């Protein structure tokens, strides 16, 4: 880790849980930055842009982000690249519909789901059976099913969680009998964009996250070093990561920054 030029961090479950930073996170991130490491943050959040997440980081005292990325940065362009300008049914937050519309697509109302050429499903705090049915029927009729991520849970404070985007997309995909197209982690685009913005090659960067299938698998696909954050003990499959840490203090020590930083 001492030779790593840039660290890329997952957020939910790694840097924070809900609105609470994990122990040592702010101090160690600041110490890494002060010692010349570039810092990126990538999250599968389907309800916020990179700018939104940066504001949230700064509100919690993390002011050292060199780049922040979410799938909302690229989902509209991904649809355009694959299918051209399209009529899109969006099941998810208003922010998700906004970025799809900004990319030049027409947003289709739930009641008009039969007009949809593409279905986009994100985490939806107002999910209803009507919305679930519309998405499944449109996808079953042939509209490609696109999602920011397939993470089953959204970790929050106190060890609790909300059902994640993956839980909703699983219901839609199962009912429709199709497989979703994933834009966020573990697919390569967010990792590759983060590396370009940080100005480093994949072997010079390490991904730090708490999810093996999302963070570790995705980072390995693009050739990054991998660090699994596991504060509650080593989980099954942890050998997929190069290193396992139990705290941010462990990361500071391995990276060669002052131990007092953590």
Active site residue 12: yes
Paired strand residues for 225: 206
104 conformational bin, left if phi > 0, alpha if psi -120 to 50, beta if neither: left
From the candidates 12, 151, 210, 215, give the one annotated as an active-site residue.
12
Cα-Cα-Cα-Cα torsion 71, 216, 83, 166, nearest 10 degrees, comes to: -70
Distance CA 39, CA 155 (A): 22
Q: Which residues contact 204 (CB under 8 A, 6 or more apart)?
A: 3, 4, 5, 6
Active site residue 239: no
**Are 208 and 194 within 8 A, CB to CB?**
no
Distance CA 187, CA 222 (A): 9
Q: How does strand 243-245 pair with strand 145-147?
A: unpaired
139 conformational bin, left if phi > 0, alpha if psi -120 to 50, beta if neither: alpha
Tokens of 242: 């190069």
Q: Which long-range contacts (CB under 8 A, 24 or more apart) does 110-115 make?
A: 110/134, 113/89, 113/137, 113/138, 114/138, 114/141, 115/87
For the chain, the helix, strand and coil percentages under 3-state DSSP, each to the nearest 5: 45, 20, 35
Catalytic machinery residues: 10, 12
């Amino acid at each position: 880790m001492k030779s790593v030029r840039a660290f890329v961090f997952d957020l939910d479950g790694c840097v924070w849980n809900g609105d609470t930073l994990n122990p040592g996170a702010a101090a160690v991130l600041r110490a890494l930055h002060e010692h010349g490491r570039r810092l990126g943050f990538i999250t599968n959040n389907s309800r916020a842009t990179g700018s939104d997440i940066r504001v949230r980081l700064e509100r919690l005292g993390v002011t050292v982000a060199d780049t922040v990325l979410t799938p909302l940065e690229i989902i509209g362009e991904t649809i355009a690249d694959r299918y051209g300008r399209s009529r899109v049914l969006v099941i998810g937050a208003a922010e998700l519909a906004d970025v799809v519309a900004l990319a030049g697509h027409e947003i289709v109302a739930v009641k008009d789901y039969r007009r949809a050429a593409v279905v986009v499903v994100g985490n939806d705090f107002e999910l209803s059976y009507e919305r679930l049915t519309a998405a499944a029927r449109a996808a079953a009729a042939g509209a490609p099913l696109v999602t920011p991520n397939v993470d089953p849970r959204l970790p929050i404070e106190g060890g609790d969680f909300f059902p994640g985007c993956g839980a909703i997309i699983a219901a839609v995909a199962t009912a429709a009998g199709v497989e979703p197209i994933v834009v966020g982690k573990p697919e390569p685009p967010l990792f590759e964009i983060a590396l370009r913005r940080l100005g480093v090659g994949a072997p010079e960067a390490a991904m730090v996250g708490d999810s093996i299938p999302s963070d570790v698998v995705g980072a390995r696909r693009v050739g990054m070093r991998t660090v699994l954050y596991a504060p509650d003990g080593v989980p099954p499959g942890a050998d997929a990561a190069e290193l396992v840490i139990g705290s941010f203090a462990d990361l500071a020590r391995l990276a060669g920054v002052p131990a007092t930083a953590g």
